[in-house]
A and B are shown apart, each in its own frame.
Chain A
Amino acid sequence: MSAQMHDGFTRRGLDDIARDMTPAPARQLLATRLARRDFLRLTGLAGGGLMLQFSVGDVRADAHAQASAGNARFAPNAYLQISTSGILIYATQPEAGQGVKTALPMIIAEELDAAWEDVEVRLSGVDAAAFGRQFAGGSTAVPRVWTPMRQAGAVARAMLVEAAAHRWQVPASELRTRDSHVIDASGERRISYMALAEAAARLPVPDAAQVSLKSREDFRLIGQPITGVDNHALVTGQPLFGIDHQLPDLLHAMYVKCPAIGGTVRTANVDEIRALPGVHDAFVIDGNGEVTELMSGVAIVAKDTWAAMRARRSLRVEWDETHAARDTWTQSQSRADELVGAEGAETLADNGDVDAAMAAAAQTVESVYRYAFASHAQLEPQSCTAWYKADGTLEIWASSQTPQRAVENVASALGMDSKAIMLHQVRMGGGFGRRLVNDPVCEAAAISRQVGRPVKLTWTREDDMSHDFLRAGGFHALKGGVDDAGRAIAWQNHFITFSADGKSPVFGGNLSPTEDLGHLIKNFRLTRTQLPWASPCGFWRAPGASVFGFALQSFLHELAVAGGRDHLEFLLEILGEPRWLDPGNTWTLHTGRAADVLKLAAEKAGWGRAMPEGRALGLAFYFSHAAHVAEVAEVSVDDNKRIRVHEVTVVSDVGPIINRSGAENQCEGSVIDGLSAMLGQKLTHERGRVRETNFDRYPLLRMPQAPKVSVHFIESDYPPTGLGEPVLPPVAPAVCNAVFTASGHRIRTLPISEEGFSI
């Protein structure tokens, strides 16, 4: 069926964000990087010292550069400064709790051989010309910067050694380094990097490709548990987040938009609002009709947040909803129910002969899996401080996962030259994909321009949940067949998703054949039908994978059970011989790495051990964001469908671990988040309006519900990749598979509260 076109508003830039998060084939990550003459540039530092300005090639730029034979464009991306007073490393990538502000500087400090205590880390400014790409999404930061950051540290170290060699009149090859010092062969002479900085700054910069990097056995810092660089400021309550930003003469604003996205202001009682206590101004903004930038709404500007909130209660707006979203979840569900028996409208893959294999199968199983739309619910409310100055320039303090794009968004929304906009990145109170889009930044900027004063915009929780970029809901009508030996021989998936334009699926609704593990089965068919959906969908932690994992990994277990097989054995058999799906491309599944994490998870959790009545283990695997992750959940279930998750064992292979503490924290948090989303989180729309707008109807997991989490890493020699997302997808299927084994109930709906389950 064809989806109905929705033309009420547009979504500029969402495609670009999706592209940024999906690196092109990354074979080059396996290859040694090319020599880069322009990789490092030396700049004299005022007051004497060494400043290395180094560039980080992005994986796509590299792929492009290789294709176009050396037309590489390497923008400088981070700064390392050594001065007489210490070592300063700028953290260039946005920090939302994924730990890059600590982990990425560790990479530089490792090759530099700096003592971590000597290093000060500061969040850098936002400047594409100086820093290259600054972006937090898709777990891409670590693979993007790994090699160039190591080279940057190593080059600096080589120059410091050279400077010491000159000073002592000995060959550089006789010197070694340790803890921010160069040490001579006898071990008697030691000199600190800080003391050498000025001399080092006068030396020529060696070719990065010629400088040797440490071998993994020599890592002293990488792999250690290092506490976050902001922790002292965090625990003492210092200003850190976007919402904490303060300026003299700051005004505070709320921005009220139509609860059905795309509705515009027809009339509003702004004159009445302006007369209320504490209110500075109230006005209508038309916006530019871009849901990613500036939509129509009413701004209330007051002397503090409370005065704006209070005045808002008296606001009366008549909305024009001609072009607003009219989505209703119950209608979408009914439509999907009518479709599940049919073939999908489009065929995405059809390998072997599925129909013949199903007919020949000893057993076939058919199930329908469903999951609802969901919201990000990052805890720091959306907020942004903007200051439009008399000279026509704008200064902005923004919590954004895409700070560079935020500048472009503001320029577009306000019709400004982006050169007149200076944006500071600020630590975020959670992102999870929501802050990839910069609508609050554009709103704050527009409001400040109107009043000509610095303004802090704050959204309420209701604003946030009503104007999110959703995790898309969806449906999978699955059918599988096993032969008389219990081997999987056929797999069919009719994926029902949503589309805004009737052509391509919404973000998070793009299931490719290779992401469906069923494609490892000889006879495989994936079809798709798109239903209309206008409210914008976006990128929710592990986009797509977070929900596909539930449906696909649960159904694999159903098939194993139908074939009378052990789940682990069944999965290993499907994975088959160790191989890359796309040979040499580290962004694709490697069946051997998959098998290894599965086997280790089973071993660590005691797979196969005897369990008391009503208690069981459940297993799941998922590959996403270049990471191979297996999990085992130990649960018990009572007669009232109350689940207790006792423990979740997580085994991942993301290559070498950089900050062990941060990495474990991401795994623990992903398990909690996965349980939270699985348990009770859903958004149901009615005529375009979200019905769940606060935590009373959109529960987050709380401490008494949190299980023990055991984390293990297989630290393979493959290039390291991020851990912010890939641990989440296996959580729900591991728990639901355990629930089946413990109780005989097969859960096929997210959230599981829809089937009467609780934790």
Chain B
Amino acid sequence: MPTLALTINGRTHEVEDVPADMPLLWVLRDRLGLVGTRGGGGIALGGACPVHGAGSPLRAGAVPARARAGQPITTIEGLASADGSLHALQQAWIDHDVAQCGYCQTGQLMSAAALLARNPDPSDAEIDSAMAGNICRCGTYVRIRRAIHAAAKAGAAANTNTTATGAAS
């Protein structure tokens, strides 16, 4: 079996001996030690496991790793900037104390990040439909909605500031 080259969070990993049907989830977790992507042990029904491929969410539990060869993948470990500064959603998740057990939350964040990337100011209904695939067994939905709105606002404010700074200089 040829070595599989995966580009994850901007870094290339060579992985040996990956069967054709091995889901990305298990390559990330058991082979690369990137355990922030978490499975629900189900049949891709839980939505705990999204990562991003080319900006859109992928179910790592269902996608074979080999299908992503050579294409960039972002996982939760790569959501913050390289200097460690958090994505607006991560900050909002902390500010609004969203998590209970927290197990689903990395998946929730990846789905929310994909949503904000294509729709920077979603309505409640848009949030609901974008997030409907992600189960939270602990029932933190009320806070997830609140945190997404807060991050959208923070994002808008950041953009305004950038523009203002740009205009002044």
The reply to whether chain A is a binding partner of chain B is yes
**Chain B residues with Cβ under 8 A from A701's Cβ?**
139, 141
Interface core residue of B79, B102, B135 (most chain A CB under 10 Å): B102
**Chain A residues with Cβ under 8 A from B106's Cβ?**
234-235, 237
CB of B26 within 8 A of CB of A96, answer no
**Chain A residues with Cβ under 8 A from B46's Cβ?**
379, 695
Query: Once the chains are docked, how many angstroms separate the CA of A239 from the CA of B29?
Result: 10
Query: Once the chains are docked, how many angstroms separate the CA of A252 from the CA of B25?
Result: 15
**Chain B residues with Cβ under 8 A from A512's Cβ?**
none
Contact with B along A442-462 (1 / 0, CB 8 A): 000000000000000011110
CB of A704 within 8 A of CB of B129, answer yes
CB of B103 within 8 A of CB of A379, answer yes
CB of B143 within 8 A of CB of A227, answer no
CB of B99 within 8 A of CB of A669, answer no
**Chain B residues with Cβ under 8 A from A307's Cβ?**
19
CB of B142 within 8 A of CB of A706, answer yes
Query: Once the chains are docked, how many angstroms separate the CA of A234 from the CA of B147?
Result: 15
Task: Tell me if A84 is interfacial: C-beta within 8 Å of chain B.
Answer: no
| Contact A700 B137, CB 8 Å, known A228-B99, A695-B40 | yes
Give the Cβ gap from A749 to chain B, nearest Cβ, in Å. Answer: 23
CB of B137 within 8 A of CB of A231, answer no
Using C-beta atoms within 8 Å of the partner chain, give the interface range for chain B.
35 or more
CB of B26 within 8 A of CB of A306, answer yes
Interface core residue of B42, B45, B133 (most chain A CB under 10 Å): B42
Contact with A along B13-25 (1 / 0, CB 8 A): 0000101011100
**Chain A residues with Cβ under 8 A from B19's Cβ?**
277-278, 306-307, 310
Which of A200-208, A290-298, A634-642, A671-679 has 4 or more CB atoms under 8 Å from chain B?
A671-679
Task: Tell me if B167 is interfacial: C-beta within 8 Å of chain A.
Answer: no
Query: Once the chains are docked, how many angstroms separate the CA of A467 from the CA of B104?
Result: 22
Query: Once the chains are docked, how many angstroms separate the CA of A435 from the CA of B137?
Result: 15
Q: Out of A238, A305, A670, name the residue touching B29 (CB < 8 Å).
A: A305
Give the Cβ gap from B2 to chain A, nearest Cβ, in Å. Answer: 16
Q: Out of B90, B103, B131, name the residue touching A430 (CB < 8 Å).
A: B103
Contact with B along A521-532 (1 / 0, CB 8 A): 000000000000
Query: Once the chains are docked, how many angstroms separate the CA of A706 from the CA of B21?
Result: 36
Interface core residue of B26, B89, B101, B141 (most chain A CB under 10 Å): B101
Contact with A along B131-169 (1 / 0, CB 8 A): 111111111111111000000000000000000000000
CB of A241 within 8 A of CB of B134, answer no
Give the Cβ gap from B143 to chain A, nearest Cβ, in Å. Answer: 7
CB of B30 within 8 A of CB of A234, answer no
| Contact A235 B94, CB 8 Å, known A458-B41, A703-B144 | yes
Query: Once the chains are docked, how many angstroms separate the CA of A676 from the CA of B45?
Result: 16
Number of A-B contacts (CB under 8 A): 194
Task: Tell me if A708 is interfacial: C-beta within 8 Å of chain B.
Answer: yes
CB of B103 within 8 A of CB of A232, answer no
CB of A306 within 8 A of CB of B100, answer no
Chain B contacts with A in 109-146, Cβ cutoff 8 A? 109, 127-129, 131-145
| Minimum CB distance partner of B92 in chain A | A235
| Contact A236 B80, CB 8 Å, known A379-B101, A665-B97 | yes
CB of A665 within 8 A of CB of B143, answer yes
Chain A contacts with B in 704-758, Cβ cutoff 8 A? 704, 706, 708-709
Q: Out of A246, A277, A669, A676, name the residue touching B100 (CB < 8 Å).
A: A669
CB of A704 within 8 A of CB of B128, answer yes
Task: Tell me if A97 is interfacial: C-beta within 8 Å of chain B.
Answer: yes
| Contact A232 B94, CB 8 Å, known A695-B46, A703-B145 | yes
CB of B41 within 8 A of CB of A464, answer yes
Task: Tell me if A288 is interfacial: C-beta within 8 Å of chain B.
Answer: no
Q: Out of A98, A227, A694, name the residue touching B42 (CB < 8 Å).
A: A694
Task: Tell me if B43 is interfacial: C-beta within 8 Å of chain A.
Answer: yes
CB of A236 within 8 A of CB of B76, answer yes
Contact with B along A412-436 (1 / 0, CB 8 A): 0000000000000001111110000
| Contact A709 B142, CB 8 Å, known A227-B94, A231-B97, A246-B35 | yes
Query: Once the chains are docked, how many angstroms separate the CA of A228 from the CA of B35?
Result: 20
Give the Cβ gap from A457 to chain B, nearest Cβ, in Å. Answer: 12
Task: Tell me if A240 is interfacial: C-beta within 8 Å of chain B.
Answer: yes
Give the Cβ gap from A709 to chain B, nearest Cβ, in Å. Answer: 6
**Chain A residues with Cβ under 8 A from B43's Cβ?**
461, 694-696
Give the Cβ gap from A56 to chain B, nearest Cβ, in Å. Answer: 24
CB of A381 within 8 A of CB of B143, answer no
Contacts A379-B40, A700-B137 supplied; 18 other A-B pairs, CB < 8 Å: A97-B99, A97-B102, A225-B97, A227-B97, A230-B102, A231-B102, A235-B94, A237-B76, A239-B35, A241-B103, A243-B35, A310-B19, A379-B103, A669-B100, A695-B42, A702-B134, A703-B131, A703-B144
Question: Which residues of B line the A interface, CB within 8 A?
Answer: 17, 19, 21-23, 26, 29-31, 33-43, 45-46, 48, 75-77, 79-80, 86, 89-90, 93-95, 97, 99-106, 109, 127-129, 131-145
21 sampled A-B residue pairs with Cβ under 8 A: A234-B105, A237-B76, A237-B79, A237-B106, A238-B36, A241-B102, A244-B35, A244-B38, A246-B33, A277-B19, A305-B29, A310-B19, A378-B101, A379-B101, A379-B136, A380-B101, A381-B39, A665-B97, A673-B139, A694-B43, A700-B135
Question: Which residues of A line the B interface, CB within 8 A?
Answer: 96-99, 225-228, 230-232, 234-241, 243-244, 246, 252, 277-278, 304-307, 310, 377-381, 427-432, 458-461, 464, 661-662, 665-666, 668-673, 676, 694-696, 700-704, 706, 708-709
Closest 8 CB pairs of A and B: A237-B36, A672-B139, A97-B101, A429-B103, A381-B41, A237-B76, A669-B139, A97-B100
